[in-house]
């Protein structure tokens, strides 16, 4: 008979606005046979977490969600309390937990295949390691890029876009980044400058400047689309023949706008990336290799992205407006 373990976390019994449906509750965790138990140390607040809770997340039908009441949060870092018999874990290990719904809780039970040992010195970075695994896959999974080739990306104020620039630098790729000409623009520009990635505005002026920066021969081999809309289309004209376009986000709510004209003279591949599917497609060993690689690369690159931190699980509501409404930072909840 499995033992009950006391936990507490932010649960919701039905989908709806986060501030309305999410409640901090005490409950028991009952690990199934073979499940490990993890005491959570910290978890991120992703924009997607709010969308999962209110039932509007893209791809929500492709994610295995637990029955209601459900705990919010989809990844994080914790310490192993019980291994569930898994050979790759021992008690006290610091682990990255993902992809898993329900990390905004003090203690969780999880399939050990979703737990990856990390060096405790990388714990701060690893809290939202999925961002980095995604950035690395966007860079390596679609185009076979060579030194000096151009990668174009929009959604430049995001943590993902910054990770793309940081991971591309050691490969000597030229990343040109585009961001909304709003309040987050200057800060995004300053962050990307550390990785020699210039940032342009997401408008006609920006498009002309990107074209000039590319020069006639320097068209993009890879275009990473995190926002959509008509300026996605505008920058599509700057792709090299047979280049690759990968869409991974639509946070601004814009659809993908594609005019056919440049496709007539220029073949492009158009693909989509969905993180849960990608993570599930890897074996535990492959995920571990990718995780170790991105954490080390980004630690070497001294990667930092602005964070808004809730100092305890009970303080989660103090930060969600900052994170989800104001924006421009990654929310982190310190659990212990
Ligand atoms: N395909 C997948 O499986 C997958 C997985 C994880 C994340 N994503 C997507 O990847 C993108 C980047 O994710 P992230 O976690 O790095 O960053 P994030 O903080 O979730 O999103 C930042 C992006 O969202 C835009 N945005 C729209 N409204 C905003 C607001 N009120 N405050 C702040 N930003 C706002 C920003 O564009 P501007 O600053 O230009 O307005 C920026 O490009 C997001 O679109 C996310 O949904 C996709």
pLDDT in tens, 304-333: 999 999 999 999 999 999 999 999 999 999
Instruction: Say which CATH topology domain 5-130+284-334 has.
Output: Quinone Oxidoreductase; Chain A, domain 1 (3.90.180)
Nearest to 80 by CA among 70, 90, 66, 69: 90
Is the distance from CB of 324 to CB of 18 less than 8 angstroms? yes
DSSP string spanning 184-222? THHHHHHHHHTTT--EEESSHHHHHHHHHHHTTT--EEE
Give the integer Cα–Cα distance in Å for 32 and 117. 21
Instruction: Say which CATH topology domain 143-272 has.
Output: Rossmann fold (3.40.50)
pLDDT at 60 over 90: no
Q: What is the pLDDT of residue 233?
A: 85
Common-topology check for domains 5-130+284-334 and 143-272: no
Is the distance from CB of 238 to CB of 220 less than 8 angstroms? yes
What Å distances lie between residue 138 and 53, 58, 134, 145, 150, CA to CA? 26, 18, 6, 11, 14
Higher pLDDT among residues 248 and 260, named by residue: 248
Domain range annotation of the chain:
5-130+284-334, 143-272
Q: How far is the CA of 48 from the centre of ligand 1 (A)?
A: 8
Is the distance from CB of 153 to CB of 223 less than 8 angstroms? yes
End-to-end CA distance of the chain: 29
Give the integer Cα–Cα distance in Å for 213 and 95. 42
Q: What is the pLDDT of residue 257?
A: 82
Residues 6+ apart with CB under 8 A from 86: 34, 36, 112, 115
Higher pLDDT among residues 256 and 177, named by residue: 177
Nearest to 167 by CA among 141, 142, 195: 195
Q: How far is the CA of 313 from the centre of ligand 1 (A)?
A: 23
pLDDT at 59 over 80: no
In the block, residue with structure tokens 């275009």: 223
Give the integer Cα–Cα distance in Å for 328 and 307. 9
pLDDT in tens, 166-188: 999 999 999 999 999 999 999 99
pLDDT range class, residue 2, cuts 50, 70, 90: low
What percentage of the chain exceeds 90 in pLDDT? 82
Ligand 1 is surrounded, with C-beta below 6 A, by 46-48, 131, 134, 155, 157-160, 179-180, 182, 184, 226-227, 248-249, 251-252, 273-275, 327-328
pLDDT at 1 over 70: no
What mean pLDDT do residues 9-26 have? 97
């Amino acid at each position: 008979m499995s033992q009950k373990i006391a936990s507490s976390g932010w649960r919701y019994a039905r989908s709806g606005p986060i501030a309305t449906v999410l409640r901090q509750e005490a409950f028991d965790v009952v690990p199934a046979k073979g499940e490990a138990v993890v005491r959570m140390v910290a978890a991120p607040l992703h924009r997607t977490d709010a969308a999962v809770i209110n039932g509007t997340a893209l791809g929500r039908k492709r994610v295995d969600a637990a029955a209601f009441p459900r705990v919010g949060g989809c990844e994080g870092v914790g310490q192993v309390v019980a291994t569930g018999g898994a050979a790759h874990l021992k008690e006290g290990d610091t682990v990255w937990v993902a992809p898993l719904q329900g990390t905004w809780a003090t203690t969780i039970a999880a399939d050990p295949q979703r737990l990856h040992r990390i060096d405790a010195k990388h714990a701060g970075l690893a809290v939202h390691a999925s961002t980095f695994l995604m950035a690395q896959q966007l860079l390596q999974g679609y185009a076979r890029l060579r030194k000096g080739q151009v990668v174009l990306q929009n959604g430049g104020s995001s943590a993902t876009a910054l990770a793309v620039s940081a991971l591309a630098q050691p490969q000597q790729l030229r990343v040109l980044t585009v961001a909304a000409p709003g309040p987050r623009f200057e800060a995004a520009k300053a962050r990307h400058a550390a990785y020699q990635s210039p940032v342009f505005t997401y408008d006609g002026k920006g498009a002309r400047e990107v074209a000039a920066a590319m020069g006639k021969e320097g068209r993009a081999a890879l275009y990473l689309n995190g926002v959509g809309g008509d300026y996605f289309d505008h920058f599509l004209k700057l792709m090299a023949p047979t280049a690759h376009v990968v869409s991974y986000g639509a946070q601004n709510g814009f659809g993908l706008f594609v005019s056919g004209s440049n496709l007539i003279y220029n073949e492009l591949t158009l693909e989509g990336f969905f993180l849960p599917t990608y993570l599930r497609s890897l074996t535990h060993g492959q995920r571990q290799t990718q995780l170790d690689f991105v954490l080390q690369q980004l630690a070497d690159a001294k990667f930092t992205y602005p964070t808004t931190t809730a100092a305890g699980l009970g303080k989660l509501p103090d930060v969600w407006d900052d994170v989800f409404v104001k924006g421009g930072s990654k929310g982190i909840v310190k659990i212990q």
